[in-house]
């Protein structure tokens, strides 16, 4: 890859990351990707940051921990957060300003809408985890500036939470 292409991809990644915070409010119709639920559980005292950040566990173990921590979480919420934690933990203590690794929702918002319709290119796709992993084999997706953990986080989130019903997507994002 030539230098100007690398620079352009780096700039796009920076813009995409910066836009996540700005764009997040308009994507409230999408299920939480993990970090919001995690931060809510930490803020309520149901989980402790150090216990989560320093723990390595399989998805099923995280599901048990999460159900015990907050029995009011629905199955999709538990599955989404458990898959996020299984892929991304342990980490060094997160940065004070919510520095957890990006979750599936954040990664989708940051990476999917710059080249194609967010609705037809992402929100209405019904794939399993392997189907979502497979998208990264196409040349234009291979070059997305995402780590293997981010690709796995995105794939698991998408398999659990997509497709989103047509009527749940705001009109201005439908096509």
Q: What 3-state DSSP class applies to 170?
A: coil
- The residue-averaged pLDDT of 152-163 equals 96
pLDDT tens digits, one per residue of 100-140: 999 999 999 988 887 788 888 888 899 999 999 998 988 87
* pLDDT of the residue at 98: 61
**pLDDT for residue 18 is more than 70:** no
pLDDT at 96: 53
- Lowest mean pLDDT, pick from 35-49, 67-81, 160-174: 160-174
pTM (two decimals): 0.81
Give residue 97's pLDDT: 57
86-89 — which CB contacts under 8 Å span 24+ positions? 86/57, 86/58, 86/59, 86/62, 87/149, 87/152, 87/153, 87/156, 88/149, 88/153, 89/52, 89/53, 89/54, 89/55, 89/56, 89/57
- What is d(CA 57, CA 100) in angstroms, rounded to the nearest whole number? 17
**Residue 31: band (very low, low, confident or very high) from pLDDT cuts 50, 70, 90:** very high
Structure tokens at 78: 């538990």
Contacts of 166 (CB under 8 A, 6+ apart): 124, 174
């Amino acid at each position: 890859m030539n230098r100007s292409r690398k620079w352009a991809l780096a700039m796009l990644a920076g813009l995409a990351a910066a836009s996540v915070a700005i764009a997040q409010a308009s994507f409230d119709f999408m299920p939480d990707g993990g970090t919001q639920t995690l931060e809510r559980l930490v803020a309520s005292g149901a989980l402790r940051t150090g216990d989560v950040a320093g723990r390595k566990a399989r998805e099923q173990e995280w599901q048990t921990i999460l159900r015990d921590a907050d029995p009011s979480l629905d199955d999709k919420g538990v599955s989404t957060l458990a898959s996020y934690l299984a892929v991304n933990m342990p980490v060094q203590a997160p940065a004070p300003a919510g520095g957890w690794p990006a979750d599936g929702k954040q990664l989708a918002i940051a990476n999917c809408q710059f080249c194609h319709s967010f609705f037809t290119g992402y929100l209405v796709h019904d794939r399993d985890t392997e189907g979502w992993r497979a998208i990264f084999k196409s040349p234009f997706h291979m070059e997305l500036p995402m780590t293997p953990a981010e690709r796995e986080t995105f794939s698991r989130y998408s398999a659990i939470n997509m497709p989103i019903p047509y009527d749940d997507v705001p009109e201005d994002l439908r096509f």
